[in-house]
Structure 1
Amino acid sequence: MGASHSGGLQARGRTFGATREERVTATTGRADGLGVRPGDAVQEIGWDSDCDEDLRAAVSAACGSELIDEDSHEVVNVVLLWFREDDGDLADTLMDAIVGLADNGTIWLLTPKNGRDGHIEAADIAEAAPIAGLQQTSTVSAAPEWQGTRLVSPRSKR
């Protein structure tokens, strides 16, 4: 464990003894890592009580507005797709997620990390993405319990 810049102690990506504001500020760097910019329209799909609230708040702060509900028909720049093993067919869910995605938009597939309930194997993501017409470009640690996989349309389709 080490001291964080905000005064709390950090261990395994978590800050202990920090206020919620300090945790959101620390998590904002993760939102930046997702490439969310001010003015981006960000839609959230698959929210449930297990989602990381600090990451959600950081993404909302980074884009400067509330996250757009999954039932919206707006065109969006970014989709945050929370997905767990028991959530159904990943390829079908990805195809539904791209409906309102702008050209050059990004889907961040947020899945529980290895060893967590609902974890999705990397091979399953690699299989589902091209079925939906997407390609995987990178994977990041989006939050303490969640990994993010960046999915985009191949350049030849843009």
Structure 2
Amino acid sequence: MVGTASTAGPVSKLGFTEDQVVLELGYDDDIDDELRAQIEEAIDGALEDEDFEDVVDAVLLWWRDSDGDLTDALVDALATLEDHGFIVLLSPKVGLPGEVDPSDVAEAAETAGLHAAASVNLTPEWSATRLVAPKTARR
């Protein structure tokens, strides 16, 4: 459990709780394995990959500037979410390769019908933004 205390708070701030089904998208060589492990510990289970074919409670989306159209990725992620689910968008911090401009995140989220509910600095390399549908749009 070494290192867990430093991010356990931020991971829980993002809304991960025990028994959630979490779909992970955008996995690549640059992701943070320790952060993944802490999320799996918080949900008390494994993250699902893009082959998972059921609805999920949350989507963990690793995103870099070169990954394509963020709005499309968010809309695709929404299609897999349960009502009241959320997306955690992880992007490289400012100044690091692949960084995503915060205004691009805000614009893509708005276009996809989402808004930022929380932003958390999780690791030295990755920032997280919790995206949810506005309360007025929820069922």
- Give the % identical residues: 44
TM-score (norm 2): 0.93
What is the CA–CA distance in structure 2 between the aligned matches of 1:100 and 1:143, rounded to whole Å? 27
**2:90·2:128 contact (CA, 8 Å) conserved in 1?**
yes
Residue 54 in structure 1 maps to residue 34 in structure 2: yes
**Deviation digits for residues 92-134 of structure 1, max 9, x if unmatched?**
0111111111111110100000001000011101111121111
CA distance in 2, matches of 1:26, 1:140: 12
User: Which residue is equivalent to 1:18?
Assistant: none
- Residues in 2 aligned to 1:100 and 1:125: alpha-carbon distance in whole angstroms: 20
Question: How does the TM-score come out when normalised to structure 1?
Answer: 0.83
Q: Does residue 22 of the first structure (1) align with residue 2 of the second (2)?
A: yes
Letter in 2 for 1:62: A
Aligned to 1:7: none
Larger Rg, first or second structure (1 or 2) = 1
Query: 2:14: which partner in 1?
Result: 34
For residue 87 of structure 1, the aligned residue among 63, 67, 70 is 67
* 2:101 counterpart residue number: 121
Structure 2 unmatched ranges of 5 or more: none
Query: Which AA in structure 1 matches 2:16?
Result: V
- 1: distance between equivalents of 2:2 and 2:111? 40
Quick one: distance in 1 between partners of 2:35 and 2:54?
22
SS of 1:133's partner is coil
Alignment of 1:71-110 (within 5 A): 71-110=51-90
* Rounded Cα–Cα distance in structure 2 between residues aligned with 1:97 and 1:43: 9
CA distance in 2, matches of 1:156, 1:56: 31
What SS is found at the alignment partner of 1:114? coil
What is the distance in 2 between the residues matched to 1:121 and 1:48?
A: 20
Quick one: which amino acid aligns to residue 33 of structure 2? E
Alpha-carbon offset, residue 29 of structure 1:
3.0
**Distance between the aligned counterparts of 2:39 and 2:2, measured in 1?**
15
Moved over 4 A (4+): none
Structure 1 unaligned blocks of 5 or more: 1-20
Look up the equivalent residue of 1:53 and give its one-letter code. D
Find the aligned partners of 1:127 and 1:90 in 2 and give their Cα distance: 9
